[in-house]
Amino acid sequence: MGLLSILRKLKSAPDQEVRILLLGLDNAGKTTLLKQLASEDISHITPTQGFNIKSVQSQGFKLNVWDIGGQRKIRPYWRNYFENTDILIYVIDSADRKRFEETGQELAELLEEEKLSCVPVLIFANKQDLLTAAPASEIAEGLNLHTIRDRVWQIQSCSALTGEGVQDGMNWVCKNVNAKKK
Amino acid sequence: MFISLWEFFYGNFFRYWMKWILRQMTGKCELQRIFDTCVGAQRTHRIENSLTYSKNKVLQEATHVMQSEVDKCIEDIMKEKNINPEKDSSFKICMKACLLQISGYKQLYVDVENERKKPYDSDNLQHEKLLLKLWHLLMPKNKLKARISKQWADIGFQGDDPKTDFRGMGILGLINLVYFSENYTTAAHQILSRSNHPKLGYSYAIVGINLTEMAYSLLKSEALKFYLYNFVPGIPTMEHFHQFYCYLVYEFDKFWFEEEPESIMYFNLYREKFHEKIKRLLLDSNVALTLKI
């Protein structure tokens, strides 16, 4: 490391901390996504009871990612984690068409929450590695995403398993961290 | 720094000088001396180390010996080490017991890993049968109205089809759940009804699958060695792995209610605490973990 780069490091401001909330139905792939972000092994994943949290450095940000279990029984606890959220990431299993309605309803309820008002939302259309996965455009239409007007939003197709599309989504996150309308 | 220097010199020089001096003094090789001084898991563990770090190929490979070739392998070792069967008649018996335990542990991991890698498959009749068996064992009085049903949540699965809950643990998770319910039915019913506690409750099946992961990762990291070497005199099998799983399920439930967590949302915190507790117990070479009901 040269003298210049050391000086530059000293000068640069400490990483801005960002609170990211990862929600979605059970089996959407939230924990796989979290582990993929943290570059951890994804072969031994079990259903999440409660929550997992990990911190990831990205583009000058310290992303504190909260992955909350998606099972119906613990969805009432989701609201305990809303406070001070900078970005909401909502994960959908694109191959589970039978539950599109359920996942759409949960998302709609989240967007109504006062504590999450104006929080930018990224929707991951996950599991695109499966042949039966619906394309992101179809999901966007089915969930009427175009009617969202009170915040910035984005839908990104991805596969948490292979990692494809995940980085694109996170780039959007970093760009929109400060887009929360006060 | 000093420690790594010491390790380097010890591993490369001192160990061999020491062994040579001791050999001259006692007239016995290291393996024989271990049999003279150690018993139980400690004995197997030290024999394993001695073989693994040996420069002799025959000894090194003995830790991977197949069950059918154990006798021949022991003969080769005795030849290499000039051990006279008449002078040391117990060597053969002791060595056989140790080798079966050592290579058996490695084989057990392979077997467990094979089951874990098999995903739950709804088109596989055996898998489906096993799943329904779990329901009947846990809910003998309630009929399952349909294969896809909200009722699965009553035994602690997340949604209306349990198949997605097995995930990274595959069919191993289901086999474990069924084994506990079948062999400790009364305890399973008690734990299931406790898991429905309004405040301290947890999802029975999901927690079970999480504990399969714990048992699996302990086996993989070799943390179960002392336990299995003490518990199983010969070759450890799947049965012994299931027994350890049962111990975890029973003890975790006790632990959870003793700790009185604020809510299920703190599960991972207490899971880690429990994991640390078990790891500490497993470090003792005299460890014996048995399910006492």
Tens-place pLDDT, residues A16-47 = 899 999 999 999 999 999 999 999 999 999 99
Residue B165: its chain A contacts at CB < 8 A?
A: 26-27, 47
- Supply the CATH number for residue A71's domain: 3.40.50.300
In a domain, A89, yes or no: yes
In a domain, A79, yes or no: yes
pLDDT at B288: 83
DSSP reduced 3-state for B156:
coil
**Chain B contact present for A167, CB below 8 A:** no
Q: Do B160 and B56 lie in a common domain?
A: no
**Which amino acid, residue B98?**
C
Which residues lie closer than 8 Å to A175 by C-beta, 6 or more apart?
none
With helix as H, strand as E and coil as C, how does chain A read? CCHHHHHHHHHCCCCEEEEEEEECCCCCCHHHHHHHHCCCCCCCCCCCCCEEEEEEEECCEEEEEEEECCCHHHHHHHHHHCCCCCEEEEEEECCCHHHHHHHHHHHHHHHHCHHHCCCCEEEEEECCCCCCCCCHHHHHHHCCHHHCCCCCEEEEECCCCCCCCHHHHHHHHHHCHHHCCC
State pTM to two decimals: 0.90
In a domain, B292, yes or no: no
Q: Do B258 and B165 lie in a common domain?
A: yes
A51 closest CB neighbour out of B167, B213, B268: B268
Number of domains in chain B: 2
Portion of chain B with pLDDT greater than 90, in percent? 74
- Return d(Cα B279, Cα B290) in angstroms, integer: 15
Name the more confident of B217 and B30.
B217
In a domain, A7, yes or no: no
In a domain, B46, yes or no: yes
B158 closest CB neighbour out of A42, A71, A77: A71
Cβ(B102)–Cβ(B235) below 8 Å: no
CA B203 to chain A, closest CA, distance in angstroms equals 8
Q: Do A43 and B168 touch (CB under 8 A)?
A: yes
Number of domains in chain A: 1
In a domain, A157, yes or no: yes
In a domain, A57, yes or no: yes
In a domain, A6, yes or no: no
pLDDT above 90 for A15: no
CA B216 to chain A, closest CA, distance in angstroms equals 10
CA-based nearest residue to A99, from A134, A47, A144, A145: A134
Given B110, B135, B169, which residue is the final one in a domain?
B110
Q: Token pair of B265, please?
A: 């949302």
Test the A interface: residue of B158, B160, B220 with most A CBs within 10 Å: B158
Burial of residue A52 (number of CB atoms within 10 Å: 0-12, 13-18, 19+): middle
Given B41, B76, B110, which residue is the final one in a domain?
B110
**Chain B contact present for A46, CB below 8 A:** yes
CA A72 to chain B, closest CA, distance in angstroms equals 7
In a domain, B72, yes or no: yes
Q: Token pair of A112, please?
A: 């109504």
- Return d(Cα A3, Cα B97) in angstroms, integer: 62
pLDDT at A180: 67
- Return d(Cα B124, Cα B130) in angstroms, integer: 10
In a domain, B148, yes or no: yes
Q: Token pair of B151, please?
A: 């009722």
pLDDT above 80 for B26: no
Q: Do B231 and B125 lie in a common domain?
A: yes
Q: Is the dihedral of CA B74, B79, B80, B84 positive or negative?
A: positive
Active site residue A154: no
Q: What is the pLDDT of residues B186-213, one digit of tens each?
A: 999 999 999 999 889 999 999 999 999 9
Q: Do B266 and B126 lie in a common domain?
A: yes
Q: Do B64 and B177 lie in a common domain?
A: no
Other Cβ atoms less than 10 A from the Cβ of B211: the count is 27
- Indicate the pLDDT class of residue A12, thresholds 50, 70 and 90: low
Given B110, B128, B143, which residue is the final one in a domain?
B110
- Return d(Cα A51, Cα B267) in angstroms, integer: 8
Q: Do B97 and B126 lie in a common domain?
A: no
Q: Do B75 and B208 lie in a common domain?
A: no
Max alpha carbon distance in chain B (Å)?
76
Q: What is the pLDDT of residues A103-147, one digit of tens each?
A: 999 999 999 999 999 999 999 999 999 999 999 999 999 999 999
Q: Do B209 and A47 touch (CB under 8 A)?
A: yes
**Chain B contact present for A45, CB below 8 A:** yes
Angle formed by the axes of helices B185-194 and B238-259, to 10°?
Answer: 30
Q: Do B136 and B270 lie in a common domain?
A: yes
Q: Do B158 and A46 touch (CB under 8 A)?
A: no
Residue B266 lies in domain: 118-282
From the list A16, A59, A71, A105, the catalytic residue is A71
Residue with tokens 């030849």: B79
Q: Do A49 and B159 touch (CB under 8 A)?
A: no
Q: Which residues 23-42 of A have a C-beta within 8 angstroms of B?
A: 25-27, 42
Q: Do B61 and B193 lie in a common domain?
A: no
What's the rounded mean pLDDT across residues A56-75?
A: 92
pLDDT at A151: 94
Q: Do B136 and B243 lie in a common domain?
A: yes
Residue B270: its chain A contacts at CB < 8 A?
A: none
B66-75 exposure pattern, b = at least 16 Cβ within 10 A, e = fewer: eeeebeebbe
In a domain, A10, yes or no: no
Cβ(A170)–Cβ(A37) below 8 Å: yes
CA A7 to chain B, closest CA, distance in angstroms equals 31
B268 closest CB neighbour out of A50, A71, A74: A50
Q: What is the pLDDT of residues B157-195, one digit of tens each?
A: 999 999 999 999 999 999 999 999 999 999 999 999 999
In a domain, B293, yes or no: no
- Return d(Cα B227, Cα B259) in angstroms, integer: 26
In a domain, A160, yes or no: yes
Residue A175 lies in domain: 15-179
Q: Do B210 and A46 touch (CB under 8 A)?
A: yes
CA-based nearest residue to A28, from A141, A159, A118: A159
- Indicate the pLDDT class of residue A7, thresholds 50, 70 and 90: low
In a domain, B288, yes or no: no
Test the A interface: residue of B149, B166, B167 with most A CBs within 10 Å: B167
Q: Is A27 annotated as a binding residue?
A: yes
DSSP state of B66: -
pLDDT at B85: 84
SS percent in chain B: helix, strand, coil, step 5 = 70, 0, 30
- Return d(Cα B116, Cα A54) in angstroms, integer: 26
Q: Do B20 and B153 lie in a common domain?
A: no
In a domain, B89, yes or no: yes
Cβ(A165)–Cβ(A158) below 8 Å: yes
In a domain, B36, yes or no: yes
pLDDT above 80 for B10: no
